[in-house]
Amino acid sequence: MNRDNSMKKGLKYGLTAVIALAAVLLCAGYYMLGYALKPEALTTRSRDIEGSLKYMAETYPDVGRWMDSLQTAGALHDLYIENDEGKLLHALYVPAADSTRRTAVIVHGYTDNSIRMMMIGYLYSRQLGYNILLPDLHGHGLSGGAEAQMGWLDRLDVLRWMEEANHLFGGNTQMVVHGISMGAATTMMVSGEVERGIHQQPFVKCFVEDCGYTSAWDEFKGELKNQFGLPAFPLLHVASTLCRWEYGWDFNEASALEQVRKCTRPMLFIHGDADTFVPTWMVHPLYEAKPQPKELWIVPGAEHAVAYKENPEVYTERVRTFVNTYIH
């Protein structure tokens, strides 16, 4: 009898420990999911339109003056569409002065917004003479939604924006899609769709990705180690499963690496050799996975997402030479 009681107590304590551990992992997983997809900067930075305008004017004075001139001339426009989930999405656009069909869709990064990508808008509009359209991704800027989607579901919204831009600028455009950081990952995720089924978009001629990650899993794994000193197992697995339950996708699925394997249109890969946020090593498997044609530019001394800021003339000429090869 005593032995039976001891076994029952052992089972009870064991079960209690398992339940407690599961509860801890569940709470930790939800915390990580919120930390990753709903960071405070989504409201304090991305939604702060006035702060973003001030940042651009202070960081890129030429771009700030150009934006002021666009607003004075009524040439900087807002556009809204509704996506398949019923979310209202926002973009900025600027038509080219000479009614060209050359068009750039420009995609911002994590906790940024369309305004904070206007330096690349300046490159294409002011310096190359393109029409430009800059979306606010889900949960960013003036678009609906409460969480970042790390490019994965964003790719479907950007495909819609590309169709919208093609129609807006006269149809039969010649288009480049250019993204930085999470926007670069989004661009690569888009690139795997434009030749498939309903997403065929022959007007898209090339892509430029600047410091994009291989996958959401790889990016979060690195940040989990760098910021918290924790291994991927088991917390990242729990958070990824919770992401599937809450939002319909998981961290492994959000793979730029798998998407670029499907892309046969030209792509320029840009990455700083001092990038530790999206580590420089990530660009190499991405570049290797992408079929030709492709180009790679490793920017000496550049940390994350500052290749243009620190090398504006060289960056502009690199992009000009690349896009002029495929867009006329």
Is residue 222 located within the same domain as residue 192?
no
Helix-then-strand count for the chain, H and E: 13, 8
Is residue 246 located within the same domain as residue 165?
no
Is residue 73 located within the same domain as residue 113?
yes
Is residue 293 located within the same domain as residue 220?
no
4 pLDDT more than 70 = no
Q: Which pairing describes strands 267-272 and 77-82: parallel, antiparallel, or unpaired?
A: unpaired
Binned at pLDDT 50, 70 and 90, residue 2 comes out as low
φ and ψ of 265, to 5 deg? -85, 155
Give the pLDDT confidence of 208-226 residue by residue, as tens digits: 999 999 999 999 999 999 9
Q: Is residue 42 one of the residues assigned to a domain?
A: no
pLDDT of the residue at 25: 81
Is residue 80 located within the same domain as residue 167?
yes
Residue pair 161/135 in contact by the 8 Å Cβ criterion: yes
Q: Is residue 88 one of the residues assigned to a domain?
A: yes
15 pLDDT more than 70 = no
CATH number at residue 78: 3.40.50.1820
What contacts 13, CB < 8 A, 6 or more positions away? none
pLDDT of the residue at 208: 98
The mean-pLDDT minimum among 62-76, 100-114, 190-204 falls in 190-204
Q: Is residue 53 one of the residues assigned to a domain?
A: yes
| Domain extent at residue 221 | 1-37+216-252
Helix (H, G, I), strand (E, B) or coil at 204: strand
How far apart are alpha carbons 55 and 65 in whole angstroms? 12
pLDDT of the residue at 11: 61
- AA identity, residue 245: W
Which of 127, 13, 117 shows the shortest CA–CA distance to 55? 117
Is residue 235 located within the same domain as residue 211?
no
Is residue 29 located within the same domain as residue 160?
no
pLDDT of the residue at 21: 65
pLDDT of the residue at 269: 98
Residue pair 241/203 in contact by the 8 Å Cβ criterion: no
φ and ψ of 310, to 5 deg? -90, -15
pLDDT of the residue at 196: 75
Q: Is residue 277 one of the residues assigned to a domain?
A: yes
Q: Average pLDDT over the chain, rounded to whole?
A: 94
Name the domain count of the chain. Answer: 2
Burial of residue 74 (CB within 10 Å: 0-12, 13-18, 19+) is: exposed
pLDDT of the residue at 51: 97
End-to-end CA distance of the chain: 88
How far apart are alpha carbons 54 and 50 in whole angstroms? 6
pLDDT of the residue at 19: 67
Give the pLDDT confidence of 284-312 residue by residue, as tens digits: 999 999 999 999 999 999 999 999 999 99
Q: Is residue 44 one of the residues assigned to a domain?
A: no
Q: Is residue 43 one of the residues assigned to a domain?
A: no
Tell which of 252, 275, 306 closes a domain.
252
Is residue 14 located within the same domain as residue 87?
no
Is residue 196 located within the same domain as residue 294?
yes
Q: Is residue 225 one of the residues assigned to a domain?
A: yes
14 pLDDT more than 60 = no
Is residue 109 located within the same domain as residue 146?
yes
Is residue 229 located within the same domain as residue 206?
no
Is residue 202 located within the same domain as residue 88?
yes
pLDDT of the residue at 137: 98
